[in-house]
Chains A and B, each alone.
Chain A
Amino acid sequence: MKSNKSPEEYLKEHADEARAAVTALKNSSNPVIYVGAATCGRAAGALETIAGFETALEENGITAEIRKVGCLGHCYAEPLVIIQNPGFPPLLYQKIGAGEAGILVRSFLKDGSDPCYEYLIGALEADENFPTLMDYPRYLYEKRVVMAHCGLIDPAEIDHYLAVGGYESLASGLKKGSEWVLEEVKSANLRGRGGAGFPAGRKWEIARQVEAEEKLLICNGDEGDPGAYMDRTLLESNPHQVLEGLALAALAVGAEKALLYIRAEYPLAVKVMESAISQAESKNLLGANILGSDFSLAVSVFQGSGAFVCGEETALIESLSGRRGMPKLRPPYPAVSGFAGRPTIINNVKTLSTVPSIIKNGAAWFLDIGTPDSPGTAIFSVVGEVEYPGLVEVPMGVTLEHLVVDVCGGIKNGKELKAVQIGGPSGGCLPASLMDTIIDFDSLRSVGAMMGSGGLVVMNEDTCMVEVARYFTDFTQGESCGKCTFCRIGTRHLREILHSITIGEGLPGDINDLTEISEAVVAGSLCSLGKTAPNPVLTTLRFFRDEYVAHVEGKCCPARMCRTLTAFYIDLEACARGCDACVACCPTESIFTTSNRKKAIDQEKCVKCGECVYACPPEYDAVRRVSPPELIPDQGVEPLPENEKEESEA
């Protein structure tokens, strides 16, 4: 049934209503408290924070509204809270636990006098009296396109998305036609954010041209990289943006069925998306005859069962079909023949989330951001040893240095940057000397790394590169589906060799073997899991060969991370008489009192957890770590005789 109203007129009715509701909330005469309650916020205690606010509000007889929002990306500062107090700009606070919530209520909401500068990050709007968030130097490099509304809107309410212009792109796409949508995305040269960087528009065109009764669009939210979480954040923080992108893609392709493939480990994302779908359906933004047009789209959620390889397109389709997720030979490409033989387009969450802004602002606008061959922005989860870990969105073309130092505050505790691991298990480790590498699909590939999932782990001098290679190989080995011999057995050999090197049993020929096996695995694997699995090994061999040599020849771990090759001892010169700080913290009771009432470690019992390093008061700083263990000096340690022990305890 086609209506006489245009999709845009249709949308306007919803949008006007939504704007009115959101404006009412913004102009509310009562304070509104927004608490970041995506998974990371909850981990940091956001739910306790909310409870803290509720109690304090009640105790002080204040009426205020509490809203759960998504993730702003400033994960180091969680739980994050935005307070909109009439008469003030919206203010962003960091590390607000239940106690701080009470203080904010009493000092700021009750008296309105003290905005608690000690917890303040900044104002979200320009203001004379407060620093604004955008004044921070990191915003010189950050550019929020996809994450623009994350953490600022309530993901549980479609009105919040409609009020910021949500679904306008879909309405104009419906009005101008599917051909136009396809052409915009094609000329914007939007490259797939799932890792490989294949142009989305070209992929859509292939499926569009196939004659088929039914076509299928899948949003890939499998996010298998064990150190990345931006897809989850986008699903949890701005679900309708994903749905709008999905609908636009389906329109361009001619698909009337769509599926969100989300891993079961992301229960909150599943819940948020399911509720978003039903809200969109109730406003006729999904479902039959969207906004009165003749385009219909049925969307459902499928939960992935946790297999890294299922992020690969053909394996994903296999798992949808109720089989083991094992990749298949291509061609035929899924775009031509995928799920049940139907043309199937699979796009990453970030790719789809970018589409609405391209349609809204035009391809030329998008091409203006980033580099000529990789336009647009990139989202990274920057974690590890940086001062401000979290999610960042930067235009393509920014250097790694800018990302790590200027945006994320550089290395913690005044240590040295050693390497960044970029792209997860398929990516590589780049040394500090390559920090001027530009972030885009092709530059990263040219130095042996990969954009991959966008996971970026920053490592300092205490991280062992052989161990990192072992870790990733262990992961891919476990996730290899077993179909290709080289991937199945080759990765196992790689893992065993790396393991033996990290425990000091490396043999002289090992380094050569690693290279050779790696090359064979790359050449002999069907899908990119195998083809890229050796990347962590190859890049560490290339940039950190010395470390491999030290392990194999010197039985020494220069980073002092490999536990078999490392030992801890207490420097008796530095240790303070009578101090017991380390004794209590040791999980294996391996620390004993010496005859001169200082402390020493029983090497037989020590599990090298490093806890005593942190427990030792900084003014003594007496715990030393050495590799190889033979370097422990002979300090002539004698345990305190039993009889004296009892004496001192009494």
Chain B
Amino acid sequence: MKAERPKFIGARIQRFEDTRLLSGTARYIDDIVLPNMLHLNFLRAETAHATILDIDTSALADLDFPTWVFTGKDTAGLSMKAHQDVPEMQYSEQPFLAEGKVRFVGEPVAVILAEDPYKAEDAAELVFVDYDPLPVVGTMEQARDPEMPPLFDGWKGNVIVERQMKGGDLAAARAAAAHIITRTYRTQRQAGVPMEGRGVVAHYNPADRVLTVWSSTQMPHLVRTYISEELGLPESRIRVVAPDVGGGFGVKGQVYADEILIAWLAMKTGRPVKWIEDRREHLIASIHARDHEHTLEAYVSADGRLLGLKADITVDNGAYSTYPFTSAGEPGMVGKVLPGPYDFQAYEATFRAVATNKCAIGTYRGVARPSAVFSQERLMDDIAAELGIDPFEFRLKNIIRQFPYKNVLGFTYDEGSYAQSLEQMRELLAEDIAEAEVSKSSATRRVGVGIACFIEQTAHGTPDFTRRRTPIETGYIAARVDMSPDGEITIDLGLQSHGQGLETTMAQVAADALGMKPENVYVRHGDTMTTPYSVGTWGSRGGALGGGAVHIAATRIADKLRTIAAHLLQSKPDQIDLVDGRAQVRDNPGSFIEIKKIARIAQRNVEQMPDGMTPGLEAHASCDGPRDGTYANAVHAAVVEIDILTGKTKLRRFVVIEDCGTMLNPLVVDGQVRGGVVQGIGSAMLEHFIYDSECQPLTTNFADYLMPLAPEIPNIEVHHIETPTPLTPLGAKGLGEGGAIGPAAAIANAVGNALGTGVAETPLNTNAVWKLSQHIRETA
């Protein structure tokens, strides 16, 4: 039994990384400058689907400055391979530079390098590409039309992958149902859009055969592995560094062709090469997300019990499969998570990804869950309306209350606070609900209240990833902890921190295990040269699994400190407490030795250590996710006020009750929740990548792709319930993504509540709400 209680885990500690970020001394990708560097400009496809007839670079010869140009002919054979290893998936690769064909507007066709970025851009304008247009596959319907030409040679149609998941007896559920409710829900194409775009700098030193690549990425080790596999270099001689990263949100949680291409170019030209993405490139060609259509059919008993659910899911994947989660990731996730927090025993989902001539779909905070929860929670309200039951009542009638719970697909949920959070939310909203009720008589101004109740499988690890059969393969997170002779602590963390505050939270974890202060702990991350192999920071895994790895490693050092202290104090290791910088005998705190003195003994005065003990205070540990992850839960609520005449919708109130188990640092937790919620509000009310019928992107700057600004956002009220999980070392569940998962559903339900109508689609901008309120204007 340990006597010391956590002192720093759970404390609202200000972040250590802030001073660097506030002072302007942080180093982001564009701050990496090397001597003799070349700047790269991409020439990108201007047409969505075409055969490349010719690329004419002859005008470059007339320039009065040197340029280097490469096309798909030069990079032939180099490609991104992101395949799910199942027979139902059609195989494709994404060439580094288009080979023969372009498949979406923004696809790189050539690269032009020059000694100045302005000049590289000038030169790119002189390269002429002759295209022969092909028919464009622009919609889910067109993609499922067998008459349309396939995007890739050898494909049958444009359905990339279609699979099923099922559990229980759906026919019986249907037969027993008193009500069958069928609805189709649509969530549009959006993306994470960090304020810093992507960028890559690469440098190769042939003398020692070392390749160094700086990239604004969430997963430096995976970038290293892909470079190694594709370019045939040993991983030991590749160093990938993610410097300070200005936001990721999943967009930087992929390995991109350009990261490997730029490494290859640095080797090819013998000069460092730099590429900084501009905003237009980011909005048309990094990755997009969402773009789902779900048709759900619910079977409900006469007394309002959910008996079964049938789902048909289509994701408009765009042209290419992204690495490492593949085109199969997004639809598969919907199929997996739709059962949600409700207790029913029959389920069947058919899910597919289809290929269109658009930017590829990849991950964005919450991944498929914001769309899945939108459909799930819209459906709950639609069923409640059809049955004439209060939406809270209907959910409480069907919510899971017994834990651990084995769901219809066989996934085991650890304990959560589902019913409690629903009850608590109902109390918090009582006045708003009453006001909404009263406003129903108004034909000009309506108030609506909507909720979204959801769970989130977090801390996925290897068991989950091997089931997916995609290139991600594994999910452990590793950390190496080292106490130097002066007693200061270094953590080399396999994660990369791009806003999550890991330089602080991981220090808190180590400090508690070692009886030191967080100020004594320096957290290094993002550099494959110093940090142990891990798959990166994404998927709500950092706190739970990264914190777990740090805890395990630090505890190993603590055990050694205790053993040395016991030897010196003539006590037993299990009688030694590490507390406030001292190793002290539990029943005799006057008998102690300073931890930094032990650190010195362990590495400088090693003759004082117990006989046979190895010098050094270093430990490496990894922490993997439990079989089915650990399930965080939350209820989100939105209160909207709608001007019926204009459709103008004001988000008056947004409330979150969330349970992520043990909180490492509530300041950081609140920040993650609020930031996620506001992104979710953008998803619900503003954000939409629009393509025209020729698949030309129409949202290519921040005047067209609208993200939330401060004036339209209310304060986000956050309430916590802490149900620690037994499945991770610190009891923490993941929380990074949850904030973004609920808002689309909660806001759509609030709008639906205000207008007395179903809502089938996001985003709910002024125009959409105006259309939805037509019936009120007509009857007024």
The answer on A and B forming one complex is: no
**Which positions in B face A, CB cutoff 8 Å?**
none
